[in-house]
Amino acid sequence: MSGKRTVIGMDVGATNIRSARVDATGTLLARDRRPTCADQGRDTVVEHIVGSIHAVSDDTVEAVGIGVPGPLDPDTGIVYAPPNMTGWGDEPLRDLVAYKIGKRVALENDANAWGLGEAWLGAGRDRSSLILLTLGTGIGGCLVLGGRPWHGAHNVGCEIGHIVYDPDGVPCGCGSRGCLEQYASATGIARRAAEGIEGGAKTTLRVEGLTSASVHEAAVAGDAFAREIIEETGRILGVGLTTLCNFFDPELIVVGGGAAAAGEMLFDPMRAELAARAIQMPAGLPPIVPPQLGEDAGILGAARLVME
């Protein structure tokens, strides 16, 4: 992409659609944000996507990149019944949008778009590979190699949250047991804390309304039980990251999402566990860092998709 040509990057979440017109350097030239209305069905969501594109578009726009909650096939542009989009089956989302706007459209899984944005202009700029983890309701993630997200042969690569942590552990929605996200996602943190409280742990926390954020808050306020839950989460993630590092040897690990707000209290035990377990060269292990682009990572990564 050269000269005054621009693209549109869009992040379609379960709650909001956010988009921007972006130039070749990654400068955001115009922005739009509107509700997704995921509960009103596919046609309404497509209408809002197209409305958001028109809101930021001008005659310099060449193409549109869209990050959406997976699963999807980036080659065919089909989204496979995303769980947080009410009433969606397998939908040819890319072609539905391209037909309405008359421009080239590319789709990417939202975690891949986020990772691509961080790899391009955020924590991973000047690095050739990174692994990104997002600690939310589940654990999402991606692997970016040479500026491209890794999809795998069947577009189910990088399901980092379903690395097995405990073979006989908690059943997971994927059909396996003891997956990493059952323990170290925001949901997993709250569940482990609730179990501890019910088991009689000495803490200011209460089971009612318990979230990973309230566990973090209590830990910061000096609650030893809450602090141990956060540190244990770091150790659990360090075990999962050992598998990834031994296999991929990435240059950088970026850990974001709501539960990563615990910061160094979470990252330090993660680093210690990784150092104790992973195979190391003299150059050491990849740094574990927070993301740098905030909400714009998904928009920038989606824009990056359609720049070549």
Shorter beta-carbon distance to Zn ion: residue 162 or 227: 162
Stretch that binds Zn ion, among 15-23, 69-77, 167-175, 191-199 (CB under 5 A): 167-175
Rg, the chain, Cα only: 20
Shorter beta-carbon distance to Zn ion: residue 188 or 269: 188
Does position 179 bind Zn ion by CB under 5 A? yes
Does position 94 bind Zn ion by CB under 5 A? no
| Nearest one of 63, 54, 50, 53 to 103, comparing CA atoms | 63
Shorter beta-carbon distance to Zn ion: residue 17 or 180: 180
Judged by DSSP in three states, 139 sits in strand
Does position 16 bind Zn ion by CB under 5 A? no
Stretch that binds Zn ion, among 41-49, 116-124, 171-179, 288-296 (CB under 5 A): 171-179
Residue 31 CA to residue 273 CA, distance in Å, equals 41
Does position 172 bind Zn ion by CB under 5 A? yes
Q: Which of residues 190-229 bind Zn ion (CB under 5 A)?
A: none
Residue from 16, 40, 137, 176 touching Zn ion (CB under 5 A): that is 176
Write the CB contacts of 230 (distance below 8 Å, at least 6 apart in sequence). Answer: 189, 215, 216, 219, 262, 265, 266
Cis check: omega of the bond before 71, within 30 degrees of 0: yes
Does position 164 bind Zn ion by CB under 5 A? no
Which ranges of 174-305 does DSSP label H, i.e. alpha helix?
181-184, 186-198, 212-220, 224-248, 264-277, 296-305
CB 306 within 8 Å of CB 104 = yes
- Nearest approach in angstroms of CB 180 to Zn ion is 8
- Nearest approach in angstroms of CB 233 to Zn ion is 17
Stretch that binds Zn ion, among 15-23, 67-75, 173-181, 245-253 (CB under 5 A): 173-181
Q: Which of residues 131-160 bind Zn ion (CB under 5 A)?
A: none
Shorter beta-carbon distance to Zn ion: residue 120 or 183: 183
Question: For 209, left (φ over 0), alpha (ψ -120 to 50), or beta?
Answer: left
Give 216-225's long-range contacts (Cβ < 8 A, gap of 24+). 216/259, 216/261, 216/262, 216/265, 219/262, 219/265, 220/265, 225/193, 225/196, 225/201
Stretch that binds Zn ion, among 24-32, 34-42, 161-169, 212-220 (CB under 5 A): 161-169
Does position 174 bind Zn ion by CB under 5 A? yes
Q: Which two tokens stand for residue 100?
A: 């309405």
Residue from 18, 21, 151, 162 touching Zn ion (CB under 5 A): that is 162
Residue 248: Cβ-neighbour burial (10 angstroms; 0-12, 13-18, 19+): middle
Does position 86 bind Zn ion by CB under 5 A? no
Stretch that binds Zn ion, among 105-113, 148-156, 178-186, 208-216 (CB under 5 A): 178-186
Shorter beta-carbon distance to Zn ion: residue 162 or 192: 162
Binding-site ranges for Zn ion (CB under 5 A): 162, 172, 174, 176, 179
